[in-house]
Structures are given as structure tokens and as C-alpha cells.
């Protein structure tokens, strides 16, 4: 059976420089997805043209927009790049240029040309759940996101904040603290015990 071997991380994109190559529907979709999760993301967009909704979004979040065709010079000081053009040759050039410079890259709708995927995300205050289908089914990720949005209680953030305060009061070494918190939070997950 095939398994998902991706390693999930949560990036502080307010501290990283991101480039989106393209200005069409896919660029807007990726930008909205990124800003929904991280409104302080540092993003530059480069494209010969931008759709009006993308322009409005970029203005709202004070993002840098450059009307130009892609060139490797736009990779300078970038940590992460998302290529969204409808031109396969340009997208693959972006990919190869990024690989040469050790910059993480995602070519939209082209899994072999991706270092990372943008999966489904559920956010409730400080709690964030990321969902990946290994690039195989964005629709499944969307359905799982909807499921978790319904299942995770709205007051989960209060619990997280209270546990953080409680954690500060626990005495002992790391293992003792982990054991105490594990015991304290056991009731959060109601698993059916095997007979």
C-alpha cells in the first residue's frame, strides 16, 4: 500500500519571502489560500497581467506586484516560490531555477514539480490542522477540512490557553511534565477501549 511520506511543517511565512509567478485564477486561488491561513505573509507576485480580484487582494494585504514576465532575477532572496502560469515551459523553468538555488517550489497542478503541496487547513485560534492527500486529491482534502471544521469545538482555543498556563505551573523534569499533561488531557480524545 502506498503511504504519504511528506513531512508536515508549519512555516512562519511572515518571516519568509514568497514569490507567486502568475496572475490568473490559479495565482489568486493560491494567494487566497495562503493569506487566509497567514494574513501577514510576505508575498511578491510577478506576471505580465493580473486579474482585478488579485489586484484588490494584493492591495488589501499590501503585497508587492510586478508586471513583468518571469525571470530568474525574481528569485533573489526568496525562500519559497509558487508557479501558477498556464505555460508549462515557464512553470518548469521556474521549478528548475528554484532547484538550482535550493528554493522550495510548488508548480500548481504538477506534483512531480513540487517540493511541497498546499493541503487543506483548519484553524481554530491557536489550533491548526493541516491535511494532505499526497497531492492526489484536493477534493478529499477539502472534504476532510470541512469535517474537521465541524468536529473541532470552537472553544478549543480556550483549552489550549488554559493548558499552556497549567503547563507553566507543573514541577519536575521534561518527562514528568509530559506525563502529567498526558494524564490531564486524556479525556480530550474519547477512544473506545479494546476488550
| Domain harbouring 66, CATH code | 3.40.50.720
Please compute Rg for the chain using Cα positions.
20
The grid coordinates listed for 188 are 480530550
Q: What is the pLDDT of residue 161?
A: 81
**Do 113 and 18 fall into the same domain?**
yes
Calpha distance 30→89 (Å, rounded): 20
- Are 63 and 1 within 8 A, CB to CB? no
Q: Is 86 in the same domain as 125?
A: no
Q: How far is CA 13 from CA 10, 20, 68, 71, in A?
A: 9, 13, 24, 23
pLDDT tens for residues 177-191?
677 767 767 666 554
Residues 172, 101: one domain?
no
pLDDT, tens digit only, all 195 positions of the chain: 788 888 889 999 999 999 999 999 999 999 999 999 899 999 999 999 999 999 999 999 999 999 999 999 999 999 999 999 999 999 999 999 999 999 999 999 898 999 998 888 888 888 888 998 887 887 888 899 899 889 888 888 887 787 777 777 777 787 776 777 677 676 665 544 444
Tell me whether residue 177 is in a domain: yes
**Beta-carbon count within 10 A of 42 CB:** 17
Say yes or no: 20 and 72 in one domain: yes
**Range(s) of the domain holding residue 137:** 119-152
Per-residue pLDDT tens over the stretch 148-159: 889 888 888 887
Q: Assess if residue 194 is contained within a domain.
A: no
Per the CB < 8 A criterion, the answer to whether 50 and 65 are in contact is yes
Domain count, the chain: 3
Amino acid at each position: 500500500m502506498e503511504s504519504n511520506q511528506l513531512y508536515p511543517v508549519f512555516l512562519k511565512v511572515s518571516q519568509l519571502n514568497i514569490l507567486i509567478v502568475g496572475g490568473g485564477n490559479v495565482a489568486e486561488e493560491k494567494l487566497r489560500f495562503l493569506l487566509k491561513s497567514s494574513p501577514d505573509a510576505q508575498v511578491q507576485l510577478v506576471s505580465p497581467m493580473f486579474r482585478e480580484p488579485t489586484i484588490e487582494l494584493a492591495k488589501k494585504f499590501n503585497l508587492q506586484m510586478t508586471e513583468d514576465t518571469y525571470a530568474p532575477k525574481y528569485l533573489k532572496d526568496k525562500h519559497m516560490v509558487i508557479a501558477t502560469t498556464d505555460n508549462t515551459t515557464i512553470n518548469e523553468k521556474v521549478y528548475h531555477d528554484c532547484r538550482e538555488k535550493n528554493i522550495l517550489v510548488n508548480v500548481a497542478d504538477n506534483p512531480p514539480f513540487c517540493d511541497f503541496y498546499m493541503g487543506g487547513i483548519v484553524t481554530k485560534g491557536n489550533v491548526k490542522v493541516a491535511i494532505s492527500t499526497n497531492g492526489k486529491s484536493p477534493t478529499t482534502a477539502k472534504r476532510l477540512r470541512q469535517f474537521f471544521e465541524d468536529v473541532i469545538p470552537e472553544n478549543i482555543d480556550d483549552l489550549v490557553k488554559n493548558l499552556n498556563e497549567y503547563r507553566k505551573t507543573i514541577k519536575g523534569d521534561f518527562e514528568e511534565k509530559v506525563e502529567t499533561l498526558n494524564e490531564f488531557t486524556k479525556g480530550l480524545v474519547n477512544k473506545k477501549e479494546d476488550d
